[in-house]
Structure 1
Amino acid sequence: MAAVEGGGVEEGVGESSSPPRDAAGPAAPTASGGSGGGAGGGQSICSQVFDRLLAEGNEEAAAPGFLSQLEHHFSRLPTSYQLDVNVDKAADVLVHQKVLAEAKDPERRPAFRVRFVKIDEADPTCDSDASEDGIDDGDDLSVRQDTPYTHIHEIVFSTVDKPKLLSQLSALLSDIGLNIREAHVFSTVDGYSLDVFVVDGWAIEDTDGLHKALEASILRNEGSWSGSSHSSAAERTLPFQVKGGEWEIDKRLLKMGEMIASGSCGDLFHGTYLGENVAVKVLRSEHLNKNIWNEFMQEVYILREVQHTNVVRFIGACTKPPQFFIITEYMSGGSLYDFVHKQHNVLELPTLLKFAVDVCRGMCYLHQRGIIHRDLKSANLLMDKDHVVKVADFGVARFQDQGGNMTAETGTYRWMAPEVINHQPYDNKADVFSFAIVLWELITSKIPYNTMTPLQAAVGVRQGLRPGLPENAHPKLLDLMQRCWETIPSNRPAFPDILSELEDLLAHVQGTSGEANQRQDDSGAKD
Structure 2
Amino acid sequence: MEGRAEEAIEEVGESSTPPRGFGIRGGGRIVANDIKNKIFTWLLENGNEEAASNPDFMDQLEAHFRRLPPSYLADVNIDRMEDVLLHQKLLAQAKDPEKRPVFHVRFMKFEDKNLNVRITEGTEDETNVAGALSARHDGIYVPTHEITFSTIDKPKLLSHLSALLSNMGLNIREAHVFSTTDGYSLDVFVVDGWHEEDPDGLYKELEAAIARNEGLWAGSSHSSAAEYMFATQPKVDAWEIDKRLLKMGEKIASGSSGDMYHGSYLGQDVAIKVLRSEHLNETEGAEFTQEVMILREVQHGNVVRFIGACRKPPQFCIVTEYMSGGSLYDFLHKHHNILELPVLLKYALDVCRGMDYLHQKKIVHRDLKTANLLMDNNHVVKVADFGVARFQNQGGDMTAETGTYRWMAPEVINHQPYNHKADIFSFAIVLWELATSKIPYDNLTPLEAALGVIQGSRPELPERTHPRLLDLMQRCWETAPAKRPSFSQVIVELEEFLKQVQETAGTSKQEIDGLEKSKK
Same fold (TM over 0.5): yes
CA deviation string 1:398-438 (max 9, x = no partner): 21222234455554454444665676654333323332332
How far 1:366 sits from its partner (Å)? 0.7
Give 1:381's aligned residue: 373
CA deviation string 1:143-167 (max 9, x = no partner): x964345765433223343343222
The two structures have a TM-score, normalised by structure 2, of 0.70
Aligned partners of 1:308 and 1:266: how far apart in 2?
25
1:506 partnered with 2:495: no
1:76 partnered with 2:64: yes
1:436 partnered with 2:428: yes
> Where does 1:71-470 land on structure 2 (aligned, <5 Å)?
72-73=60-61, 75-77=63-65, 78=68, 79-93=70-84, 95-96=86-87, 99-100=90-91, 103=94, 106-107=98-99, 109-120=101-112, 146-148=138-140, 152-188=144-180, 192-200=184-192, 210-211=202-203, 213-227=205-219, 240-245=233-238, 261-263=252-254, 265-269=258-262, 271=264, 279-281=270-272, 283=274, 289=280, 295-315=287-307, 328-329=320-321, 331=323, 333-406=325-398, 410-417=402-409, 426-450=418-442, 456-464=445-453, 466-470=458-462
1:32 to 8, 23, 27: 23
How far 1:359 sits from its partner (Å)? 0.9
1:48 to 21, 38, 42: 38
Aligned partners of 1:353 and 1:218: how far apart in 2?
48
Partner secondary structure for residue 49 of structure 1: helix
RMSD over aligned CA atoms reads: 4.7
Number of residue equivalences: 458
CA deviation string 1:226-249 (max 9, x = no partner): 3379xxxxx99997322323x567
The 1:488–1:93 alpha-carbon spacing in structure 2 relative to 1, beyond 3 Å, is farther
Aligned partners of 1:421 and 1:334: how far apart in 2?
28
Q: Which amino acid aligns with 1:361?
A: R
Contact 1:111-1:157 at 8 Å conserved across structures = yes
Contact 2:105-2:199 at 8 Å conserved across structures = no
Aligned partners of 1:250 and 1:258: how far apart in 2?
17
Aligned partners of 1:260 and 1:72: how far apart in 2?
30
1:478 to 457, 470, 481: 470
Q: Name stretches of at least 5 consecutive residues in structure 2 with no aligned partner.
A: 1-12, 116-135, 222-227, 508-520
Aligned partners of 2:384 and 2:465: how far apart in 1?
27
Partner secondary structure for residue 441 of structure 1: helix
The two structures have a TM-score, normalised by structure 1, of 0.69
The 1:432–1:339 alpha-carbon spacing in structure 2 relative to 1, beyond 3 Å, is same
CA deviation string 1:375-413 (max 9, x = no partner): 322233233454332222334322122223445555445
Q: Name stretches of at least 5 consecutive residues in structure 1 with no aligned partner.
A: 1-20, 124-143, 230-234, 516-527
How far 1:172 sits from its partner (Å)? 1.9
How far 1:224 sits from its partner (Å)? 0.9
Partner secondary structure for residue 394 of structure 2: coil
Contact 1:444-1:470 at 8 Å conserved across structures = yes
Identical residues among aligned pairs (%) = 57
Partner secondary structure for residue 241 of structure 1: coil
Aligned partners of 1:259 and 1:423: how far apart in 2?
39
Partner secondary structure for residue 154 of structure 1: strand
Q: Which moved more, 1:308-317 or 1:80-89?
A: 308-317
How far 1:351 sits from its partner (Å)? 1.8
Give the number of the structure with larger relative contact order, counting CA–CA contacts within 8 Å between residues 6 or more apart. 1
Aligned partners of 1:97 and 1:314: how far apart in 2?
43
Partner secondary structure for residue 396 of structure 1: coil
Aligned partners of 2:271 and 2:91: how far apart in 1?
41
Q: Which amino acid aligns with 1:65?
A: S
Q: Which moved more, 1:358-367 or 1:79-88?
A: 79-88
The 1:186–1:336 alpha-carbon spacing in structure 2 relative to 1, beyond 3 Å, is closer
How far 1:363 sits from its partner (Å)? 0.9
Aligned partners of 2:155 and 2:185: how far apart in 1?
11
How far 1:446 sits from its partner (Å)? 2.4
Aligned partners of 2:498 and 2:432: how far apart in 1?
17
Q: Which moved more, 1:178-187 or 1:166-175?
A: 178-187
Partner secondary structure for residue 115 of structure 1: strand
Q: Which amino acid aligns with 2:160?
A: Q
Aligned partners of 2:95 and 2:248: how far apart in 1?
44
Aligned partners of 1:286 and 1:90: how far apart in 2?
36
CA deviation string 1:135-193 (max 9, x = no partner): xxxxxxxxx96434576543322334334322222222232344434322234566543
Partner secondary structure for residue 44 of structure 1: helix
Give 1:136's aligned residue: none
Partner secondary structure for residue 112 of structure 1: strand
Contact 1:32-1:84 at 8 Å conserved across structures = yes
Partner secondary structure for residue 393 of structure 2: coil
